[in-house]
Amino acid sequence: MRRIRYSIAVLGCALLTACTGSDAPSGLSAKSAADWSKVGETDAYAYYADHGSLRKADETVTMSDLLDYKTPQIEGGAAPALSKITSREYDCQNQKSQPLKTTWYSGQMGAGSVVHTTGGSNSMAVVSPGTATAGFMRIACGL
């Protein structure tokens, strides 16, 4: 009987561990599971894409990206942030994108406490060449 209870407990822990991941880039499990690869850098920030978050659905693709700032940023009157993670949707055929959710963090590379979170824009915008978003789109759309 003890063996059965032990087996059930181990199985329950394994299931719980497997089910605690998240597609949203705002939780600790999402940050630690991210597969960040550097896409580029400007004078103000380095930017990274999470290849593991790529999801294709019909005509759109979603992927998480991270901007790692070199100096603290103030967004919406919130406390200073050193990084932000955005889940973004891409319309590859029309070269458009929109943020779905953005979370700013007090530390670099999505570390530290959450400073500010915003929802999506619900409006696709044309991606300008030479921007960080254009670099993310190349990865997300396989261009």
- The model's pLDDT over 30-44, given as tens digits with 9 standing for 90+, comes to 455 578 999 999 999
Per the CATH hierarchy, to which homologous superfamily does domain 23-141 belong?
Answer: Surface-adhesin protein E (2.40.128.710)
Neighbours of 64 (CB within 10 A): 30
Question: Would you say residue 135 has pLDDT above 80?
Answer: yes
Q: Which two tokens stand for residue 140?
A: 């997300």
Domain ranges of the chain: 23-141
The answer to whether residues 104 and 113 touch, using CB atoms and an 8 Å cutoff, is no
Q: Please give the pLDDT value at position 32.
A: 52
SS (H, E, C) 1-40: CHHHHHHHHHHHHHHHHHHCCCCCCCCHHHHHHCCEEEEE
